[in-house]
Amino acid sequence: MRLLVTGGLGFIGSNFIRHMLAADRGVRILNLDLRTYAGNPASLADVARGPRYRWVKGDIADPAAVDRCMKGADAVVHFAAETHVDRSILDASAFLRTNVVGTQVLLDAALRHKVGRFVHVSTDEVYGSVARGLSREGDRLEPNSPYAASKAASDLLVRSYVVTHGLPAVVTRASNNFGPCQYPEKALPLMITNWIDREPFPLYGDGRNVRDWLFVLDHARALALVLRRGRTGEIYNIGGTHSCDNRELVERVRVLMGVAPGLVRRVPDRPGHDRRYALDCSKLKALGFQHAFGFTQALQLTVDWYRGHEAWWRPLKKKGGFRSYYSRQYAALRKGRASR
């Protein structure tokens, strides 16, 4: 199978590519990735020399680049996206361009080239905050951040191409991913890398926001299954094995890492911060999916990975881009009260 992966230098995409190359000897992967701030060729250094993988630097919103890459593809797995909620609050423009226009360019090319399967990788954030119960695939979309709104828009665009043009597409909506190669602006890698340096983790608001935690390798396995067995036009929720609030997460990681209490600083809350996400995954289970990693085991693997790969993340945190984002985002930190 010739697979076009978009955004394969990113966190989830790179883990998916490594998984597919190992799990399927017959797959050849072309990775179309612009190498934005969050894309890192070092994440795939171990497979980059192999004959079954190739990276093409290009923008999914560029129809000519997309057309060239789509030629000969049997299937597409579309990860390329701006993903960080806090950045979308600071400036939403890149989110609209990549997540919405980029998806439309890909869908048009997939139609032209008669691709046999299009997997659109999306997020549970499109459902918005759910006070109780679980979000099901048919629930109303109530995105609250510009990021979530851009993903909801792209999900609907995919739906329209299925209904109107008969494109054989499926949508997946995953919960909060964690694991190796996640850019350290996200909560877990920020926490782990800050604590390796004995620096505080900035906890937003009261820390009672609940997230469902999905190990990225289980996500990769679920996507491989949906690629094979998913039914055209369907949406599949992909949740993790553990749901908890941010206070519990902080405490679990603190204990795992052997860090003394006190390295948490309460900062003002993110505007529009969704209180809780939770997914009903019975459709995915009906396809035969089972998690391979327990939560504590996966957290430990993640902590170990960041401890063992300082050469991967230290340069990222030193870069001007991270620092200027961090100082914009955490200007509030200086005003925050120390706690715990």
Residues that bind ligand TYD (CB under 6 A): 85, 176, 186-187, 190, 202-204, 209, 211, 246
Nearby residues of 154 by Cβ (< 8 Å), 6 or more positions away: 81, 99, 100, 103, 120, 122
Out of 53, 127, 147, 306, pick the active-site residue: 147
Out of 125, 185, 212, 218, pick the active-site residue: 125
Q: Distance from first CA to last CA of the chain, Å, rounded? A: 53
CB 44 → ligand TYD: shortest distance, Å?
Answer: 22
β-bridge pairing 210-215 and 242-245: antiparallel
Nearer to ligand TYD, 15 or 246 (CB): 246
Distance CA(266)–CA(89), nearest Å, equals: 20
CB 61 → ligand TYD: shortest distance, Å?
Answer: 23
Nearer to ligand TYD, 110 or 214 (CB): 214
Distance CA(152)–CA(155), nearest Å, equals: 5
Residue type, 174: A
Cβ atoms of 100 and 59 within 8 Å: the answer is no
Out of 124, 185, 218, 274, pick the active-site residue: 124
Nearer to ligand TYD, 70 or 214 (CB): 214
Quickly count helices (H) and strands (E) in the chain. Answer: 14, 12
Nearer to ligand TYD, 40 or 129 (CB): 129
Q: Is 161 a catalytic residue?
A: no
Q: Is 142 a catalytic residue?
A: no
Distance CA(123)–CA(26), nearest Å, equals: 29
CB 202 → ligand TYD: shortest distance, Å?
Answer: 5
Nearer to ligand TYD, 125 or 218 (CB): 125
CB atoms within 10 A of CB 321: 11
CB 270 → ligand TYD: shortest distance, Å?
Answer: 6
Q: Is 124 a catalytic residue?
A: yes
The Cα angle at residue 70 between residues 69 and 73, in degrees rounded to 5: 115
Backbone φ and ψ of 135, nearest 5°: -80, 130
**CA 68 to chain CA mean position, Å:** 25
Distance CA(63)–CA(52), nearest Å, equals: 25
CB 117 → ligand TYD: shortest distance, Å?
Answer: 27
CB 211 → ligand TYD: shortest distance, Å?
Answer: 5
Nearer to ligand TYD, 14 or 329 (CB): 329
| Residues acting as catalytic residues | 124-125, 147
